[in-house]
Chains A and B, each alone.
Chain A
Amino acid sequence: MNNVSMPDILLFLVLPYLAMATFVIGHIWRYRYDKFGWVSRSSEIYEKRWLELGAPLFHYGALMVIAGHMLGIIIPESFTEALGISEAQYTLVAQVGGVTGLVICLSGMVILLLRRVLNGRVKRATTRIDVAAMSMLWLMVILGTLTTVGYNVLGPGYNYRPSVAVWWRSIMLFQPDVSALNGVPEIYRIHITVAWLFLAMYPFTRFVHSWSAPATYLTRPYVVYRHREPSPPHTPGVGKRWRTIGRD
C-alpha cells in the first residue's frame, strides 16, 4: 500500500467493497422481500412505436458494451499477447467493437429517454427510483463515452489493461492492489467511481429483471402443469416497507 493516497483508498478500495456488499446483500434482500416487484416494468402497453425501436437498440447495445467490458478487464494482457495479438490490434478491435456497441446503446437510450419525457403515459408511470436509476445510468454511460471516444479514439489514447484491469482483478480476488491505478487518467477514475455507485444501486431498481432472463424457456416443456401446492401458497408482496420499490 505504498504510494497510495487516502482518497484513492476510499474510492478504489473501500467503495468497491461497500458497493459489492450492497450489490450482493441488496439482491438477496430484494428477492426475499420484494419478489413480487422483481419485474421488467415494461411500459410497452402505454406506447409501442418508439419502444419497438429504442428498447432492442438499448438492450442489445448494453449487452455488447457489458461483454466488451468483461473481455477488457477479465482477460489479462499477457493472455492475448501469448495468442500473438499485439497491443495495436487489440486496441483496434476493442475500439471498433466498443464504439459500435456504444452507438447502438446510446441511440436506444436517447429514444427511450425522449419517449419517457414526451409521452404522458410513460412519464406518469415513472417513479423516483426510476429517475435515480436512469440518471445514474446516463451519467455512467456519458463518462464511458468520454473515456472511450473522447480519450481513446479521438484523444491521446490509454492502455487500461496493465492498470485498471489489474486493479479490478485484484479487487475481485480480494487481494486489492490500489497502487495499480497510479497514473490512470482522471476520466477513467470518475467513470469507475460512478460505475460502483451504479452497481450499489442496482438491486433496488428495475434493473434486477436482468437476472431473470428466461433461459429455461429454451428447454422446458411448452405446457406447464402443476399439482395443488402441498402447503398454503405464499402471499405475494409481503414485507411492508419494500413493496413500494419502483411502484410508488
Chain B
Amino acid sequence: MRVRAQFMMVMALDKCIGCHTCSTTCKQAWTNRTGTDYVWFNNVETKPGIGYPKHYEDQNRWNGGWTLNRRGRLKLKSGGRIKKLMRIFANPDLPTIDDYYEPWSYDYASLTNAPKSDRAPVATAHSRLTGEEIDLQWGPNWEDDLGGAHERYLEDPNMRGLEEQITLDYENVFLMYLPRICEHCMNPSCVASCPSGAMYKREEDGIVLVDQNKCRGWRFCVSGCPYKKVYFNHVTSKAEKCTFCYARVEDGEPTVCSETCVGRIRYIGIVLYDLDAVTEVAATTDEQDLIEAHRDLFLDPHDPEVIAAAEVSSVPHDWIEAAGRSPVYALAKDLGVAFPLHPEYRTLPMVWYVPPLSPVVDAMSVGGYDAERPEDVFAAIEHMRIPVDYLANLLTAGDAKPVETALRRLTAMRAFKREEQLTGAGNESLAADVGLRPDQLEHLFRLLALAPYDERYVIPTSHREETGARQSEHCSIDFPGGPDLAATFGLEESNMVMPEADTSRDEDGRVRLNVREAPPR
C-alpha cells in the first residue's frame, strides 16, 4: 500500500444560487488574458442544458476519458498511443472555438465619439479573433437560467431515457446550477493523453498541472479530458487549466472560487488513498459500481493502520491529521451524500456534488404537496422520476438508488432539525430510516447549514522545507542498511513493493504510473 494525500472539493448544489461569482473571480485571477479570452477554468452551467463547450458530456462525439477494452483493461476512449501519434497533425476530437464561443468585445469608443443624433449610439460586438463585427449566436452562459432551453433541452445527454416525460411535463420544468472546475482526477485521462509528458499530477497533493515549458501544443489533453477542462491558449499555443489555485492552497488558503462563493457551497479538504489501487478501481467492470469502488479507495483517516501506513508513505503528520477533519471525506464517504460528476468516464474525478433537493421540492409544490412533510418528500423522491433520474445520469452513471438515498438523508436532516427546534428533541427514527446516526445528521447539518469557514476548508499547508534546501535532504537516512522505518512501524516494506502486474499495467502492457516508491522526506 502506498498512501497518498489528494485535495478534493465537494459542492452542495442546493446552496448554489447561480450568481457566477466563482466564475468571474476565477477569470479575473487566472484567465483575463488574450489567448484565454474564451477560457473559464470555473464555469456555472444551468442544467438541463448542453453546457460549455457545447455537448461536452457526449463522449460518443468527443471520445474523452477512459473505457474498457475487451479484456476489461483501461484504455483511452480516443485510442492508444500509436493511433494518437498518427493523428497528431489534426486531432479529430478537438473542439473548435465555436464549440466554446467566439470571444468578443464592444467598440465602446463609438459611444463617446458618436456625433449628435436623435438615436442613442450603439456599441457593436467585435470578434476578438478577427476584429470584425459579429452577430452573437452563442456565448458564455448563453443557457443561463434555461435561456433557449426550449430549443436544446433534449440535446442534454443526461436527458437520455427521460425525453418523453420532459415533453409532457415541460410546463413544470426544473432547473439547477452546476458549477464546474477541473476535477483533478485520480486517473486523469488528460495526463495520459499528453504526448509530451508535460501534464502531471503532483504527488504531494494530487493537483493536476501543465508544465508550460514542456507543452508543445499537441492538443490531446484538451480532447482527452471528458469534462473539457483543459483549454488551448490560442496565443501561446499551449494548454492551460484550473490549477486548484495551488499558490493559495499551499499556504492553507482555499481556492479563489471557494473563497468568493456567496452561497458557501464549496468544501475543500484532503483524502488519503492507496495509489496502488487506483487503476483497479478505475477499471471496475460495471460503471454503476464505480462510485462505491471510488469511495472504498478513500482510506479511513481514523484507522490506526491507515495512519501508520500513511506515515510510512511519507504523508506529513499534519496532513494525516487534516485528513481526519476533512469535510469532503465526511460528505463523500461518512455521510454518503456526495457523488462525482459522470463517474462513467472512469477518470475518478475529485470534485463531488451533493445533489440538490430543490428540483424535487419545486416539482412537489407544483403538484400541491407539502414540502415540509418528510413523508411527502420521500414519496416524491420515489415517484417523481424526472429530477431523480436526471441527477442519476449526471452523478451516478444512471443508478437512481444512491441519489435517492442522499436526497432522503438531506430531507431527514431538515425534518430532524426542524423538529428539534420546534419541540426540543429530534425524532431519532428519522436518522435510522435513512441509515445514519443522529450525530451524523447533526454533522451533516453543521457542514451544510452552519458551514463554518474553518470546517468548510481544512487545508494543510504544503511542506516547503522538503524542497531540497536542507542539508539533511541531501544526506538522507533512507539508505541500504540505514534505519528501517517500515520495521519500526511493524509493517512490511509495503511502500517498496511494486504493485501486481494486473493492476499497474495498461491495455498495452505498459506500466501505468511513473511512481515507484515514496518520495524522499
Q: Do A and B originate from a single complex?
A: yes
Closest to A63 in B: B89
Chain A residues with CB under 8 A of B85:
214, 217-218
Tell whether A240 is near chain B: CB-to-CB under 8 Å: no
The answer to whether residues A39 and B237 also contact, given A120-B130, A121-B97, A121-B130 and a CB cut-off of 8 A, is: yes
How far is it, in angstroms, between the C-alpha of A40 and the C-alpha of B131 when the chains are bound?
24
Please tell me if the beta carbons of B96 and A220 are within 8 angstroms of each other in the complex.
no
Closest to B513 in A: A223
Tell whether A158 is near chain B: CB-to-CB under 8 Å: no
The answer to whether residues A39 and B217 also contact, given A214-B85, A226-B200 and a CB cut-off of 8 A, is: yes
Tell whether A247 is near chain B: CB-to-CB under 8 Å: yes
Tell whether A229 is near chain B: CB-to-CB under 8 Å: yes
Chain B contributes a number of interface residues (CB within 8 A of A) equal to: 59
How far is it, in angstroms, between the C-alpha of A209 and the C-alpha of B212 when the chains are bound?
15
Chain B residues with CB under 8 A of A222:
191-192, 506, 510, 512-513
Tell whether B422 is near chain A: CB-to-CB under 8 Å: no
Closest to B463 in A: A228
Min CB distance A207 to B, Å, is 13
Which residues of A (111-138) have their CB < 8 Å from a CB of B? 120-121, 123-125
How far is it, in angstroms, between the C-alpha of A173 and the C-alpha of B261 when the chains are bound?
67
Chain A residues with CB under 8 A of B89:
55-56, 58-60
How far is it, in angstroms, between the C-alpha of A225 and the C-alpha of B186 when the chains are bound?
11
Chain B residues with CB under 8 A of A217:
81, 84-85, 194-197
How far is it, in angstroms, between the C-alpha of A221 and the C-alpha of B519 when the chains are bound?
18
Which residues of B (233-264) have their CB < 8 Å from a CB of A? 234-238
Closest to B132 in A: A120
Which of A42-50, A77-85, A142-150, A160-168 makes up part of the contact surface? A42-50
Chain B residues with CB under 8 A of A43:
234
Please tell me if the beta carbons of A45 and B512 are within 8 angstroms of each other in the complex.
no
* Dominant secondary structure of chain A at its interface with chain B: loop
Which of A22-30, A177-185, A230-238 makes up part of the contact surface? A230-238
The answer to whether residues A46 and B96 also contact, given A124-B130, A228-B202 and a CB cut-off of 8 A, is: yes
Please tell me if the beta carbons of A40 and B90 are within 8 angstroms of each other in the complex.
no
Tell whether B137 is near chain A: CB-to-CB under 8 Å: no
Please tell me if the beta carbons of B467 and A229 are within 8 angstroms of each other in the complex.
yes
The answer to whether residues A224 and B514 also contact, given A39-B238, A120-B130, A247-B236 and a CB cut-off of 8 A, is: yes
The answer to whether residues A45 and B202 also contact, given A220-B514, A222-B510, A224-B514 and a CB cut-off of 8 A, is: no
The answer to whether residues A236 and B213 also contact, given A45-B94, A121-B97 and a CB cut-off of 8 A, is: yes
How far is it, in angstroms, between the C-alpha of A101 and the C-alpha of B202 when the chains are bound?
44
Tell whether A33 is near chain B: CB-to-CB under 8 Å: no
Which residues of B (162-210) have their CB < 8 Å from a CB of A? 187-188, 191-192, 194-197, 199-204
Among A35, A38, A218, A222, max chain B CB count under 10 A is at: A222
Tell whether B462 is near chain A: CB-to-CB under 8 Å: yes
Min CB distance B347 to A, Å, is 11
How far is it, in angstroms, between the C-alpha of A228 and the C-alpha of B91 when the chains are bound?
32
How far is it, in angstroms, between the C-alpha of A221 and the C-alpha of B513 when the chains are bound?
5
Min CB distance A248 to B, Å, is 11
Tell whether B219 is near chain A: CB-to-CB under 8 Å: yes
Chain B residues with CB under 8 A of A52:
90, 92
Tell whether A200 is near chain B: CB-to-CB under 8 Å: no
How far is it, in angstroms, between the C-alpha of A76 and the C-alpha of B406 when the chains are bound?
76
Chain B residues with CB under 8 A of A39:
215-217, 236-238
Tell whether A219 is near chain B: CB-to-CB under 8 Å: yes
Min CB distance B303 to A, Å, is 25
Please tell me if the beta carbons of B203 and A227 are within 8 angstroms of each other in the complex.
yes
Please tell me if the beta carbons of A40 and B217 are within 8 angstroms of each other in the complex.
yes
Selected from B188, B216, B218, the residue in CB contact (under 8 A) with A38 is: B216
How far is it, in angstroms, between the C-alpha of A118 and the C-alpha of B219 when the chains are bound?
24
Closest to B212 in A: A236
Please tell me if the beta carbons of A41 and B237 are within 8 angstroms of each other in the complex.
yes
Please tell me if the beta carbons of A36 and B212 are within 8 angstroms of each other in the complex.
yes
Which residues of B (78-129) have their CB < 8 Å from a CB of A? 81-82, 84-85, 87-92, 94-97, 127, 129
B interface list, Cβ under 8 A from A: 81-82, 84-85, 87-92, 94-97, 127, 129-132, 187-188, 191-192, 194-197, 199-204, 212-213, 215-219, 232, 234-238, 462, 464, 466-468, 506, 510-515, 519
Closest 4 pairs (CB-CB, A-B): A230-B468, A214-B195, A222-B192, A120-B130
Given contacts A42-B218, A120-B130, 6 further A-B contacts (CB under 8 A): A42-B217, A44-B91, A45-B234, A47-B96, A55-B89, A120-B132
- Identify 5 residue pairs between A and B in the complex whose beta-carbon atoms are under 8 Å apart, listed by A's number: A40-B217, A42-B237, A56-B87, A124-B131, A223-B514
A interface list, Cβ under 8 A from B: 35-48, 51-52, 55-56, 58-60, 120-121, 123-125, 209, 212-214, 216-231, 234, 236, 247
